[in-house]
């Protein structure tokens, strides 16, 4: 089935976490003016779109994912004028801007919640989810994503409110049509400003089962809310309404963050008839290191295995073919650095494995996302103690598992943080060797030195992006898995209109036998090695060949 074309299917997205990207005024916090200053850098890399993590007014309990005013800019980041300047400068450079939309919850400091908690008869009461306690305890056993109960008791009215994240992130009541109107209005406000899309925060959780039943009990004693909140009863109805009321009126990129989403659900969210969203972020491949050796859920020192990652990604690639669109990512502000997680951040392997991972992902079918610093091969950091942590998730997990429940020793928890903590991705962007003191490897890994080195990770990403822009097969070609049982190599082909692309990546630090390219006549589009070995892939080697004979005139010219 021929794929419908769309600009957002052909684009490469760059995610900026504004707090740690670029500090223009020297107060130690990244800001909008800093992003504007770095537009030439983004143009040099060649990305089409920037997704900004939240820049709205926020008390920063969860770094902007707790919004107190959707129509104002966070003071730390600047003013609305700074935003307008950024938007205009980006557009002038041909770069689109996608905003984070966080509407599963608001900050407890949002005007709606300040009203809501005042009394049971306040007009804003039903903007949120209030319930009576049960036998002097929470209304049910649900655990919040950030540890502890998902319900908070409020003295003023003697009821509990629901918060699937921190207690300062209060869940909105999407059952209330007034809440939905408010959300559509604020979306329209930003669309009318000329933004180019939304990344929708935990959008799969907006509809809750109104019976609020207890969830299955987890190892830590709390209940799992997922059966009742993930892709809940009315989520597709709400998104179709949002689409009719707002999205369909503009030409937008939309991507829904959908932790826990199944393939069948993804086909509904990202359905190709455009009635809901453009694509979703699924989470299976980034959670594939969890399990054995794990303490509780994500807190693990385990690493993902090629076999699992490949099985998951191949499944998403083949099953969405022709009926929904994939998003492609290794990294974002919630994940550890991919070179540390999936690759090898030891000095002798870092550059090769970062390039290998990039190849493996960027030749797949879907829209690729690059998280700031990934294009430099930035690595995880090291946590010496709780004082090194800023993230509310880390602090709460420490309190629960180390302090209250005493299930985990401080040493083990720190080892898990080194592996999994979100702060790994939130250390300052390493621009050059003069700044960012405190994050030890900035002298070796930084943008300035990589820009001047043609063999750097940066230049490799630049080339991958260019290839995607030049070869339609990379965007729209059908994905065909290869060597699905190989213990070292991730290989696949892409096919379109008689053309064929071969991709093979060695995920290990050992040489791996590989006969895939024997006797193949084609043009090498990209590789992280200058010389190849017959019958084998070298440590972390990646190769991409466009087969001869399958080449169209245009593609030959572009590849050489
Ligand atoms: C999403 C965000 C994450 C945030 C959470 C609550 O998962 O990506 O950073 O903590 O939602 O808003
Ligand atoms: Ca600043």
Q: pLDDT for 122-159, tens place per residue?
A: 999 999 999 999 999 999 999 999 999 999 999 999 99
pLDDT at 271: 86
pLDDT at 558: 35
How do residues 407-455 score in pLDDT, each as one tens digit?
999 999 999 999 999 999 999 999 999 866 557 788 899 999 999 999 9
Name the closest ligand to CA 24: 2
How do residues 498-533 score in pLDDT, each as one tens digit?
999 999 999 999 999 999 999 999 999 999 999 999
For 154, list phi and psi in degrees, rounded to 5: -120, 115
Say how far apart CA 396 and CA 394 lie, in whole Å.
Answer: 6
User: Tokens 């290839």 appear where?
Assistant: 467
- Probe target for ligand 1 pocket from 19, 62, 329, with the most ligand atoms within 8 Å of CB: 62
- Please, how many CA atoms are within 13 Å of residue 21, restricted to the half-sphere of its CB? 27
What is the DSSP-derived secondary structure letter of residue 84?
A: H
How do residues 86-110 score in pLDDT, each as one tens digit?
999 999 999 999 999 999 999 999 9
| Residue 351 CB partners (closer than 8 Å, separation 6+) | 377, 455, 456, 457, 528
Say how far apart CA 266 and CA 50 lie, in whole Å.
Answer: 23
**In the chain, what are the domains?**
13-106+177-466 (3.20.20.80), 111-170 (3.90.400.10), 478-559 (2.60.40.1180)
Q: What percent of the chain has pLDDT over 70?
A: 96
Q: What percent of the chain has pLDDT over 90?
A: 91
| Residue 368 CB partners (closer than 8 Å, separation 6+) | 12, 13, 328, 329, 361, 362, 468
Say if ligand 1 is within 6 A of residue 65 CB: yes
Alpha carbon 31 to chain centroid distance?
20
In angstroms, what is the span from residue 474 Cα to ligand 2's centroid?
39
Say yes or no to pLDDT of 552 above 50: no
Specify the DSSP element, H or E, that contains 131.
Answer: strand 130-131
- Cβ–Cβ < 8 Å for 290, 299: no
Say if ligand 1 is within 6 A of residue 62 CB: yes
Say yes or no to pLDDT of 62 above 80: yes
Helix (H, G, I), strand (E, B) or coil at 354: helix
Q: Bigger pLDDT: 516 or 550?
A: 516
pLDDT at 436: 62
Across residues 462-472, what is the average pLDDT?
A: 98
Structure tokens at 497: 């209109």
How do residues 271-310 score in pLDDT, each as one tens digit?
888 999 999 999 999 987 765 444 457 889 989 999 999 9
pLDDT at 289: 72
For 185, list phi and psi in degrees, rounded to 5: -65, -45
Say if ligand 1 is within 6 A of residue 200 CB: no
Q: Predicted confidence band at 559 (pLDDT cuts at 50, 70, 90)?
A: very low
Say if ligand 1 is within 6 A of residue 100 CB: no
Q: Measuring from atom 5 of ligand 1, which residue has the nearest CA?
A: 65
- Probe target for ligand 1 pocket from 202, 225, 260, with the most ligand atoms within 8 Å of CB: 202
Distances (CA, A) of 303 to 295, 336, 435, 538: 14, 11, 31, 22
User: Buried b vs exposed e over 32-58: b needs ≥16 C-beta within 10 Å?
Assistant: bbbbbebbebbeebbbbbbbbbbbbbb
Distances (CA, A) of 508 to 279, 490, 511, 513, 528: 31, 10, 8, 12, 14
How do residues 360-393 score in pLDDT, each as one tens digit?
999 999 999 999 999 999 999 999 999 999 999 9
Reported pTM: 0.96
């Amino acid at each position: 089935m021929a794929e419908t074309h769309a600009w957002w299917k052909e684009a490469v997205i760059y995610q900026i976490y504004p707090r740690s990207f670029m500090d223009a005024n020297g107060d130690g916090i990244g800001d909008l003016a800093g992003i504007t200053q770095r537009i030439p850098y983004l143009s040099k890399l060649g990305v089409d779109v920037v997704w900004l993590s939240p820049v709205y007014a926020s008390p920063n309990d969860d770094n902007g994912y707790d919004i107190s005013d959707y129509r104002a800019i966070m003071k730390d980041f600047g003013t609305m004028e700074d935003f307008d300047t950024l938007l205009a400068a980006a557009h002038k450079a041909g770069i689109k801007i996608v905003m984070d939309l966080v509407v599963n919850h608001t900050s407890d400091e949002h005007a709606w919640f300040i009203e809501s908690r005042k009394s049971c008869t306040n007009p804003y009461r039903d903007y949120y989810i209030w319930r009576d306690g049960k036998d002097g305890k929470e209304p049910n056993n649900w655990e919040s994503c950030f540890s502890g109960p998902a319900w908070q008791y409020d003295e003023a009215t003697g009821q509990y409110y629901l918060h699937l994240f921190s207690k300062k992130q209060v869940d909105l009541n999407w059952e209330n049509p007034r809440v939905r109107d408010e959300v559509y209005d604020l979306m329209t406000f930003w669309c009318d400003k000329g933004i180019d899309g939304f990344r929708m925060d935990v959008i799969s959780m907006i509809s809750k089962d109104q019976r609020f039943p207890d969830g299955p009990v987890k190892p830590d004693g709390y209940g799992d809310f997922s059966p009742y909140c993930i892709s809940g009863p009315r989520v597709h109805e709400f998104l179709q309404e949002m689409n009719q009321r707002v999205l369909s009126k503009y030409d937008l990129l939309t991507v829904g963050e959908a932790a826990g989403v199944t393939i069948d659900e993804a086909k509904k969210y990202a359905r190709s008839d455009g009635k809901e969203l453009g694509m979703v972020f699924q989470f299976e491949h980034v959670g594939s290191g969890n399990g054995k050796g794990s303490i509780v859920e994500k807190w693990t020192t385990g690493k993902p295995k090629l076999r699992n990652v490949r099985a998951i990604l191949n499944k998403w690639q083949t099953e969405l073919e022709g009926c929904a669109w994939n998003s492609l990512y290794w990294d974002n502000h919630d994940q550890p650095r991919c070179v540390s997680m999936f690759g090898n951040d030891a000095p002798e392997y870092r550059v090769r494995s970062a390039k290998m991972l990039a190849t493996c992902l960027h030749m797949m079918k879907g829209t690729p996302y690059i998280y700031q610093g990934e294009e430099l091969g930035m690595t995880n950091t090291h946590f010496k103690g709780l004082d090194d942590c800023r993230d509310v998730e880390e602090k709460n997990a420490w309190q629960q598992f180390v302090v209250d429940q005493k299930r985990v020793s401080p040493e083990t928890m720190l080892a898990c943080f080194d592996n999994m903590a979100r702060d790994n991705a939130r250390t300052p962007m390493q621009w050059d060797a003069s700044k960012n003191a405190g994050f030890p490897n900035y002298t070796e890994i930084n943008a300035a030195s990589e820009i001047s080195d043609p063999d750097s990770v940066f230049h490799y990403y630049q080339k991958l992006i260019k290839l995607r822009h030049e070869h339609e097969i990379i965007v729209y070609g059908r994905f065909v898995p290869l060597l699905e049982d190989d213990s070292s190599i991730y290989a696949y082909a892409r096919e379109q209109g008689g053309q064929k692309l071969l991709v093979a990546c060695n995920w290990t630090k050992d040489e791996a036998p590989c006969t895939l390219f024997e006797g193949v006549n084609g043009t090498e589009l990209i590789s992280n090695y200058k010389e190849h070995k017959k019958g084998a892939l070298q440590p972390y080697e990646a190769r991409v060949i466009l087969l001869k004979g399958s080449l169209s005139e245009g593609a030959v010219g572009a590849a050489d």
